[in-house]
Amino acid sequence: MTNSFDKLAFETAQAARIGWFFGQKLLAARLARPVPAPPELRGRTMPDRRRLVADLWHLIEADWRNIEAGIYAAPEDWRGSPLTGLRRAVDFFTDLGAVEARRHGGPAEALLPEAER
């Protein structure tokens, strides 16, 4: 059974989580070279920030209703350790150089090496 505090905690955690990952995205975008949009997307208008945020909150509200209805459990990662989040961020930024090489390299660089058997 959930209550108003559970919902507030969930929404607060989701807002913090979104801010954390969006901040990483902004920093990664500053560190990376841009990639041109695919031809089929060029010239298309994108939704503005207000629309994106509104759509995001609709998804969070729908997620909460599903959790409240017992369709699925609340995500465990929102209760995770901050140190785990920091380690994952370090891993992400450590790998960014290799990702950039694949994004801007030829077809051979785009493929990850096959795992050893």
Greater model confidence, 104 or 11:
11
In angstroms, the CA 38 to CA 87 distance is 33
Give the Å distances, CA to CA, from 79 to 13, 16, 73, 74, 91.
Answer: 8, 11, 13, 10, 20
Given this model, what pLDDT does residue 30 score? 93
Among 87, 66, 84, CA closest to 75:
66
Distances (CA, A) of 52 to 47, 48, 49, 56: 7, 6, 5, 6
**pLDDT for res 4:** 87
Tens-digit pLDDT profile for residues 8-48: 988 998 998 899 999 999 999 999 998 888 899 888 998 99
For 40-93, what is each residue's pLDDT tens digit? 988 899 899 999 999 999 999 999 999 999 999 888 765 667 888 899 999 999
